[in-house]
Amino acid sequence: DIHVNTTVKGATVPATLHGIFFEEISHAGEGGLYAEMVQNRGFEDHVIPAGTRLENGWLQPFPAKPHFMLGQPSDWKMEWPVHSQWPAWHVENKGLQLSLATDHPLHPATPHALQVDITAMDTRNYPSLVNEGFWGMKITQGESYRLSLFADNVKGYTGKVTISLQSATGKVLADTTFSITSPASWQQYAAVLTAKESDPAGKLVLSFHNKGTLLLDMVSLFPVHTFRNRPNGMRNDLATLIARMKPAFVRWPGGCYVEGITVESAPDWKNTIGPLEQRVPTYSPWGYWSSNGFGYHEYLQFCEDINAAALYVFNVGISCEYRSGTFLPEDSLAPVIQNALDAIEYAIGPVTSRWGKVRAANGHPAPFPLKYVEVGNEQHGPAYAKRYNKFYDALHARYPQIGIIASMGIGDVNRHTLDSMQHTDIVDEHAYKDAGWSLRNFDHFDRYKRGNWKMYVGEYATNAGVGSGNLQAALSDAVYVMSMEKNADLVNMSSYAPLLVNEHDVDWPVNLIHFDAANSFARISYYALNLLNDHKASYNYPVTTTLQPEMLVKPRFSGGIGLATWDTEADYKDIVVVENKDTVYNSGKDPQWIDWLPVRGQWKKSGSILGQTAEGPQQLAILKDHHFNAYTLTLKARKTSGVN
Ligand code: AHR
């Protein structure tokens, strides 16, 4: 039975409800939204990030995150390979040797250049240097491409260099030739190339006509037609898909990306503005380099272009915290706090201010639409609260108009976790759930304590049991959004995550928009969310439903060994083993499993009550028995109170 009370209006659903979350994950920006077609254009993509170390060709392993977020630990990148000294570049034809040079940098911030020694010459097959792009380059007949490179021939090369866009099989689609004459330090060479034919998997080829030694740096190729035709701009198809979402705001640049592998190597907005060759690249927990070409200024410009508010997330002096991350002591936060203040000043400060002046010099005297900042990502608890308070005080005193968002753990508003935070205007909760969770928990936000805070669901997605995203995921996501609308007095912002995935480097199981160098498409959740945004409810009426007294919860676990995980709410009290063909052990017996999360299951037979549950994720360890049997276990949650 469904009862709708039309005499009482719910809270107004805010215009800010639907935003987007951009993270530099799965090559979302580098080799994705950022339209640069040359991978590793500055030859910096091999350096070991500060604070990490290399062991047998691998960077120090990334500390794992708990299973419940993704299902299987193998979904995570546990290690970072260092493939090559010059990733994405290779040599074609004989007579060419490569090395990295640091004795003559184009700019000290990006100290490496590629030294090309041309030692032999075959004029039918010139020694050539090839950039593979981001798993290919999409070259389209009739389209024009802006080529730019820096060359330094103080080491002796004179002669011609032909630069061509070629198909995967080596057919020339467009080309130009530069003459490098008397020895000179760094010179920029630029041209616009128009393709005679198409290839979705093309490449950029530099062919050398003479012997000699040449230094190269910042080899770049952009389509002329970027989103809004901005130089150093965004890829049209992806930016258009994002703009179509009509997001109220854009959160940037992460995610774990913000946290960094170490504090020392975490992104710093000041490395992402100004001339491209002066931007120190960032190596992130997602296992690849960002050139920072899609930097803070470009991000703010993109927000303005799509009529969205900016929501900038900064590091709170703590890196990805699991085991080997690094952090700054609480009494050393002053420079980090100042850095956040400077970022705000860059975005909205007057042109007479230090950083407002830099913004104007970078081509944008008017303020950008920065409305929110977020203090860290996914950190919470008492230690975080102390940091947060310091940031809040400094930021709010200077910029009271900026919404300050606190990160928090799931359900923290119902605990006392927020008590140690002096001000919590907006709190950010993340929610990656399994299919159907939102249907079973439509009253999830109904149970949240109200206070003088609003809630931002900064990352959400149905991402377990739905492949790479399917109709079931879309329905679950849509119902989750409806539960936010129903609680519009509390939840006023949300963003699905992750937004983008390059099919060639998938860091996360379910994503909204897929692409490779040539194609892009959005998954069905994208259309569900657009539908909800385009036809947003103004308000909700209170609805009461009466359902069956029991409902089935489906634990997820692989094979017979693993963790069964499910969520439960306070009024689903008893978990009953309905069927148990074999042994189910409490995890306490195996130290391998206790490390992870508190496990509440016990050795039980069919029909017995497994345990009283608390709110939140529940787990049961299924360990191997002596015979390596497979198990079939069905659990039922018995509902003991409340109306669902
Ligand atoms: O969206 C992917 C990741 O999920 C984000 O980087 C992180 O914030 C969360 O754990």
Give me the CATH number covering residue 238: 3.20.20.80
Q: Which atom of ligand 1 is nearest to the CA of 378?
A: 8
Residue 464 lies in a domain: yes
The CATH number of whichever domain residue 175 belongs to comes to 2.60.120.260
Task: Say how many domains are in the chain.
Answer: 3
d(CA 286, CA 28): 11
Q: Whose CA is nearest to atom 8 of ligand 1?
A: 255
Cβ neighbours of 440 (radius 10 Å): 23
**Token pair of 367 as six digits:** 């303020």
Taking CA atoms only, the protein residue closest to ligand 1 atom 2 is: 498
Q: Which atom of ligand 1 is nearest to the CA of 377?
A: 8
Task: List the structure tokens of 187.
Answer: 């010179």
E strands, 61-198, are 80-81, 89-92, 96-101, 113-118, 128-131, 137-139, 144-152, 159-166, 172-180, 187-194
**For ligand 1, mutation pick of 68, 377, 463 (most atoms within 8 Å of CB):** 377
Question: Whole-prediction pTM value?
Answer: 0.83
If asked whether residues 158 and 196 sit together in one domain, one would say yes
- Does residue 253 share a domain with residue 188? no
Cα(25) to centroid(ligand 1), Å: 9
Classify residue 624 as exposed, middle or buried by CB count within 10 Å of its CB (0-12, 13-18, 19+).
middle
Instruction: State the pairing for strand pair 159-166/80-81.
Output: unpaired
* Rounded distance from Cα 243 to ligand 1 centre (Å): 22
Quick check: is 52 in a domain? Answer: no
Closest approach atom of ligand 1 to CA 507:
2
Out of 67, 459, 496, 507, mutate this one to test ligand 1's pocket (max ligand atoms within 8 Å of CB): namely 459
User: Where among 193, 223, 253 does a domain terminate?
Assistant: 223
Quickly count: other Cβ atoms within 10 Å of residue 628's Cβ.
9
- Point out the ligand 1 atom lying closest to the alpha carbon of residue 257: 6
Q: Domain ends where: 515, 543, 571? A: 543
Residue identifier of the C-alpha nearest atom 4 of ligand 1:
255
Query: How many other CB atoms sit within 10 Å of the CB of residue 616?
Result: 13
| Cα 407 to ligand 1 centroid, rounded to whole Å | 12
Please say whether the beta carbons of 275 and 334 come within 8 A: no
Task: Give the tokens for residue 135.
Answer: 């798993």
What are the C-alpha distances in Å from 249 to residues 208, 309, 494?
A: 47, 4, 9
Instruction: Indicate whether 578 and 518 sit together in one domain.
Output: no
Verify that 242 and 214 share a domain, yes or no.
no
Task: Please state, in angstroms and rounded to a whole number, the distance separating the CA atoms of residues 376 and 386.
Answer: 13
> Is residue 60 domain-resident?
no
73 domain-assigned:
no
The pLDDT value given to residue 594 = 22
Q: Which of 223, 249, 279 is the last residue of a domain?
A: 223
Q: End-to-end CA distance of the chain: give it in Å, rounded.
A: 11
Residues touching ligand 1 (Cβ under 6 Å) are 23, 25, 254-256, 377-378, 430, 459, 497-498, 508
CA separation for the pair 18, 581 (Å, rounded): 46
Q: Do both 458 and 561 map to the same domain?
A: no
Among protein residues, the one with the nearest Cα to ligand 1's atom 6 is 255
Question: Exposed, middle or buried: residue 602 (CB in 10 Å: 0-12, 13-18, 19+)?
Answer: middle
pLDDT (0 to 100) of residue 483: 95
566/617 same-domain check:
yes
pLDDT at 454: 95
Instruction: Let me know whether 536 and 593 are in one domain.
Output: no
Angle between helices 354-361 and 334-348 (to 10 degrees): 50
* Ligand 1 centroid, distance to 431 Cα (angstroms): 10
Atom of ligand 1 nearest to the CA of 458: 8
CA distance 253 to 232: 18
CB 426 within 8 A of CB 390: no
Residues 239 and 385 in one domain: yes
Give domain status of residue 1, yes or no. Answer: no
DSSP 3-state of 30: helix
Contacts of 251 (CB under 8 A, 6+ apart): 19, 20, 21, 22, 311, 313, 374, 458, 495
pLDDT score for 74: 31
Would residue 311 count as lying in a domain? Answer: yes
Distance 377 CA to ligand 1 centre (A): 8
Query: In 3D, which of 480, 478, 440, 423 has the Cα closest to residue 457?
Result: 480
Each residue's pLDDT tens digit, 38-87: 999 999 987 655 555 555 444 443 443 332 222 223 333 333 445 578 98
User: What's the full length of the chain, in residues?
Assistant: 644
Does one domain contain both 417 and 554?
Answer: no
405 in the same domain as 272: yes
Question: Is 80 inside any structural domain?
Answer: no
Name the DSSP class of 641. S
Domain that holds residue 121: 89-223
Assess if residue 393 is contained within a domain: yes
pLDDT at 207: 98
202 and 329 in a single domain? The answer is no
pLDDT score at 480: 97
Can you tell me the distance from the alpha carbon of 596 to that of 621, in angstroms, rounded to the nearest whole number? 10
The pLDDT value recorded for residue 421 is 87
* ipTM for the complex shown: 0.99
Q: Which candidate, 622, 492, 493, places its Cα nearest to that of 557?
A: 622
Q: Which atom of ligand 1 is nearest to the CA of 432?
A: 4
For the chain, which residues score pLDDT lower than 50?
56-81, 321-323, 549-563, 567-619, 621-634, 638-644
Question: Which phi-psi region, left, alpha or beta, contains residue 316 (left: φ > 0; alpha: ψ -120 to 50)?
Answer: alpha
Q: Are residues 264 and 155 in the same domain?
A: no
